[in-house]
Structure 1
């Protein structure tokens, strides 16, 4: 079944069928309904690529994420796709992993599909050198590139950021004001977001007169058992700490498990703050105090900004920062 069959059955020209498919307004309602009825009767579905050529748009956005099983990224993908559907755009999702060559390969794949824009969810797509980021800068010469909680300066690149630095700074300051002086910091990555979180911890400690507590900072995988065992080892080695600030709720749950195994009361003996306000923060016992990074707001702002770019909006900002919120539950006593 093809466009010629539709044309013959509807008694109209091929050009008229094409105009109906492409949403051209220069078709009467009566003719449009007739053509659509014939398409439905014959079970004809227009070729998406051909339609895209006619409209000069595929109405499709590429989404890249490093790991769709990650709770934060899974939520981001859900919100992004919801907003794209609301704006009548489809999505192609690529889970790239963390290898730079794979990221480049998947971005090239999306561009070959003639997507109208690319969204990179998470800050781990931004590398430490401009040379390694060149593949993103090159892509932005063809389509808008949206970075969800990542920052890269360049034409046609738009960053929607959570203020991770201030969020951690304020959370650590609250711990200090509640009487905590030996605050461990557990983090997962040295990405743009990860570096801002770490700086927030360090500066809050320094500003409170606690010094540069380098021996209180530990990087570990995003794994509950690993963070639990790490804290257990540090505790057995005699390291004293009365609070744990983490860069992700997963590590905070590990801290809760450590406290239970060590016979420590939470929050009396050990205060714990997670990050991302994920399902884990509410499923744990006790429920975790956690930083809400406003992932839904980040994603809705990303799509609204992208639509503004498509619509030729003037002075669309290249970066927008959204404030986080500390959600107080039962693992802190402030």
Structure 2
């Protein structure tokens, strides 16, 4: 039995069956019960396509992320899928990798599946060159686009993100105020988030009227062991640094490995600040001071905004959340 059979047997339209299956109140109680009885008698389970008939909705949201094995992305997918499920929506996940052409192609594929909206997870989807964001703007002409941890001002685009710039500025300023002037900023990608973090780092030095050696800004996309080796290489080249502020916890753990290899006392001789407040931060010794970017709240806010949009209600194009610094064993001055 399919949705057509149910509508025929109940003597109602396909749209009416769809409304009942989606909990729409615009059906009389008598008709609703009649349809539910037919569904129960025939043990019918609607598929996504059937749910979409008559209501112009598939009750399905597309999720795009670069790499679901990354701790930040995997946690974001978990929080988003949980919030969507609570609102009776399914999710389709696609992992694009870092390639720009692949991202644009996967977004087109999701739209072809007639999803109700798409959530872009991570700031890497936002390009520094405006023209390269055209594919997002074009997609937003078809369905609402939600961007998590990034910002793009465009019609039908809604962004939920953390104020990376402000919190990195606060962290770096606190280091400088406590005499830690040999800071190193280590970040992974020239993404929207990465650029905002870098601006915060620069602002701290400008506010303190201190010069900033460009060698203290390191763009490096490596594993934990590779990060350790990178820092050992920088030290061997004569660059001295007593504090690392990292763009994510994995890079920060690499810095911790470096400090231990150099036999530095942590945190008195060498301090480390990570980002994302991931599980990695409590799996090391000493435990890692990390910035909590409020990921769960960010995801819940993104889904709440999306539900408002899908319900025909207004939603802010940009919601900026404040982050917190969680001091653990790799710093002693917050």
For normalisation by structure 2, the TM-score amounts to 0.93
SS at match of 1:54: coil
Structure 2 equivalent of residue 197 of structure 1? 197
RMSD: 1.9
CA pair 311-5 structure 1, distance change in 2 beyond 3 A: closer
CA pair 222-301 structure 1, distance change in 2 beyond 3 A: farther
Structure 1 equivalent of residue 323 of structure 2? 324
**Is 2:329 the partner of 1:333?**
no
Cα distance in 1 for residues equivalent to 2:206 and 2:68? 36
Cα distance in 1 for residues equivalent to 2:186 and 2:14? 61
In the TM superposition, residue 21 of structure 1 has moved relative to its aligned partner by: 4.0
Cα distance in 2 for residues equivalent to 1:269 and 1:124? 34
CA pair 7-134 structure 1, distance change in 2 beyond 3 A: closer
SS at match of 2:128: coil
**Is 2:105 the partner of 1:105?**
yes
Cα distance in 1 for residues equivalent to 2:210 and 2:53? 62
1:16–1:27: 8 Å Cα contact kept in structure 2? no
In the TM superposition, residue 220 of structure 1 has moved relative to its aligned partner by: 1.0
Structure 1 equivalent of residue 140 of structure 2? 140
How is 1:1-334 mapped onto 2 (pairs within 5 angstroms)? 1-3=1-3, 6=6, 12-13=10-11, 15=12, 19-23=16-20, 25=25, 29=29, 32-314=32-314, 316-334=315-333
SS at match of 1:267: coil
For normalisation by structure 1, the TM-score amounts to 0.93
Cα distance in 2 for residues equivalent to 1:313 and 1:186? 41
Cα distance in 2 for residues equivalent to 1:323 and 1:274? 16
Deviations 1:19-77 (A, max 9, x none): 24431656554554454344334332334323312112111111110111111111111
Cα distance in 2 for residues equivalent to 1:261 and 1:97? 33
In the TM superposition, residue 237 of structure 1 has moved relative to its aligned partner by: 2.7
Deviations 1:182-201 (A, max 9, x none): 01111101111100101111
Ranges in structure 1 where 5+ consecutive residues have no aligned partner: none
In the TM superposition, residue 129 of structure 1 has moved relative to its aligned partner by: 2.0
In the TM superposition, residue 226 of structure 1 has moved relative to its aligned partner by: 1.3
Cα distance in 1 for residues equivalent to 2:14 and 2:331? 65
In the TM superposition, residue 210 of structure 1 has moved relative to its aligned partner by: 2.5
